[in-house]
Structure 1
């Protein structure tokens, strides 16, 4: 059975700190996606919203919130939450109903407003919340967490702070021509290295910001796309939202250890690798088929990890690709041609959808000023925590 559904339209609201309600951003992105698709709002029969925990009750029922804001049209609604993989899980919900024949046209929307206190949306002690435990008991706020990943790359593979800075330089250059990016300014290695040390070895410019923003995608069956006259639309060929498989998956988190001795005879792989493997298997392709990637660069060092987790290079080889210019536009496997989170910052329920928007523009040949030439397959990657991960494969 083919898992393909058609991407009819994509749309975004520019990232920034605009101080408006998240619904404003979501409606803007949704209308842009509908216009791009050439589909009337009244033809949408499913709305899937990416939940945002920082925006009150409306954020918890985001599907209904966006349906109401666009004007009640009788569509079914659903709401998804999976931390930073929220947008991909929402996309998968829509895809599943389309493939089941229960829906023809689905609108998927993610939007966020990120006020101060981004990491503490709920007050009080939360002893069953791994984030709260990590922050409060271990002192592992996100920058410290990212720094452990970075230090691991330095110790295992000889990565340097200059390598990490080069990732920022590359992504900043990519983002210069992206009208939706928040930061559109070229930076140098010296700029990164002279910015404040946040958590050694990472500097301020190695770490992404938090942002307001939105992204939306209109999906339909391939048959519906043909009826609209779209002979070869961009297609969603796979959405992976797998959880780890015990004991064969190593939880690739520096502050946790896993005894994998029980996995005798089984190849050991990381959770992030397992996310990618499931996507490739579903799409029926290999990493060598991928021509462009949008990955989750919470820090510059994490982008290098993802290149390897996606199988785009061997383990410990990402720095070599970076230094050779192979991960920039014009190279063998351009990574984050949008500018990535380095240029956008995090708008959590929107970012996995923003990656899908970017890859759609890339595969259509519409990424003006940052176009990757000749790509026919693109892959995305995101990770929340503890089984909240995703990878989406798009193809033409």
Structure 2
């Protein structure tokens, strides 16, 4: 495994997910303070603040890096703000890593926080025909609609069933029940899923993640800085992939709205490409993965990620969840945090929250949901407008 591109994770912190009705900055500051305390480093020593943007929270959300630097107390740090929709947190982490590896700073703070409206996500008011988010909603393709298209694809190609999808929800609820930062801490049954309201056939309400308020923060440093402060064997960020698709997308992101098989397969190929770069950069293979945190916008999409991460061949994801392979105690636990099923979407924070969970797991600090002796963890995330991300964490 290459060590030339590794940085150390000194601290992680989260603000619990929920619907708190407060300013996003409050959540982010709490997460930053927790991460700094976990790292054992003072705020004044941070040389770079990398914020993940939130478009819903006005100008402070657009300049999140500076917003949090100000809220924590101006002390001269350089700032950055990254926007990549649901992959914003990974982009912000990548910016911090680049700053550290270039030798321009030793210690960085990465943070994402959000306050979301009630209901499913939707674009801001106004006509924006050059905005693919606005276009797909104008055509009636809400998030649950295209989640359902992917679910139907699995059913048609691989014979997956609604019962298989429900097993994913039951698994994640069992994991998240033990996570103090999760919004939904209740163990559900397959019958609970089947009895929830039908939203977009074949997906029911409990197959689809909610929207939430929440925050996550990570303190990272050079390996030399970690050693200097006495952190001899820290968990490490060993790879970050932020690839974009290789197929032509045009004005509208066709995989988000198309029903033709070519476009859907192209989207699947894009998701498969996201972790490949990370595996190559970290010098690990899918067989080395101890656990994964994936972007489970819906139960069916989690199954797609098993295959995209090459945890199994195409078409065999449902078999993994049926056998319990992706449960804690199984071959490769997926979403031991509980995933978005238990957290909901706090868009700029969720890719960072995935990394926080992997760090806690690799440290052996995930009380109640601890995976046995993990060594390599991977995240997977996909944001609107061609933003893919995958982070590999090792010890």
TM range (shorter): over 0.9
Aligned counterpart, 2:280: 281
How much has 1:244 moved relative to structure 2? 1.7
Output the CA distance in 1 between the equivalents of 2:173 and 2:41. 34
Give secondary structure in 1 for the equivalent of 2:56.
coil
Check whether the contact 2:377–2:392 (CA below 8 A) recurs between aligned residues: yes
Paired residue for 1:113?
A: 115
Q: Which residue of 1 aligns with 2:315?
A: 316
Aligned to 1:79: 81
The answer to whether the 8 Å contact 1:252/1:272 transfers is no
Contact 2:122 2:137 in 1 (8 A): no
Shift of 1:386: 3.1
In the other structure, the counterpart of 1:379 is: 378
3 and 296 in structure 1: CA distance in 2 versus 1, 3 angstrom threshold: same
In the alignment, which residue of structure 2 is the partner of 1:198? Answer: 199
* TM alignment of 1:344-363, pairs within 5 A: 344-363=343-362
Secondary structure of the residue aligned to 1:54 is helix
CA contact (8 A) 2:136 2:257 kept: no
Partner of residue 138, structure 2: 136
Q: Quick check: 2:52–2:349 contact (8 Å CA) kept in 1? A: yes
For the residues of structure 2 that align with 1:117 and 1:342, how far apart are their CA atoms? 15
Match of 1:47 in 2: 49
Q: Shift of residue 268 of structure 1?
A: 11
Corresponding residue number in structure 1 for 2:28: 26
Q: Which residue of 2 aligns with 1:171?
A: 172
Q: Distance in 1 between matches of 2:57 and 2:247?
A: 35
1:263 maps to: none
- 2: CA distance between counterparts of 1:188 and 1:376? 31
* 1:65 pairs with one of 61, 64, 67: 67
Measured after TM superposition, the shift of residue 20 of structure 1 is: 0.4
Counterparts of 1:240 and 1:374, CA distance in 2: 25
Task: Indicate the residue corresponding to 1:365 in structure 2.
Answer: 364
User: What displacement does 1:75 show?
Assistant: 0.3
Q: Which range moves more in the overlay, 267-276 or 195-204?
A: 267-276
Q: Tell me the CA shift for residue 8 of structure 1.
A: 0.5
Find the counterpart in structure 1 of residue 149 from structure 2: 148
Are the equivalent residues in 1 in contact too, given 2:166–2:194 (CA < 8 A)?
yes
Q: How far 1:232 moved relative to its partner?
A: 1.1
Question: Structure 2 length normalisation: TM-score?
Answer: 0.95
Runs of 4+ in 1 over 3 A off after TM superposition: 116-121, 250-254, 256-260
> In the superposition, relative to structure 1, how do residues 26 and 240 fare at CA in structure 2: closer, same or farther (>3 Å)?
same
Distance in 2, Cα, partners of 1:177 & 1:333 = 18
Residue 296 of structure 2: aligned partner: 297
Q: Post-superposition shift, 1:269?
A: 6.9
- Checking the alignment, whether the CA contact within 8 Å between 1:149 and 1:254 is kept in structure 2 is no
Distance 1:207 1:315 in 2: 22
- CA distance in 2 between partners of 1:274 and 1:301 (Å): 19
RMSD over aligned Cα atoms: 1.8
**Whole-Å Cα distance in 1 between the matches of residues 261 and 122 of structure 2?**
28
Residue deviations 1:173-222 (CA, integer Å, cap 9, x gap): 00011000000000000000010000000000000000000000000001
Query: Shift of residue 254 of structure 1?
Result: 6.3
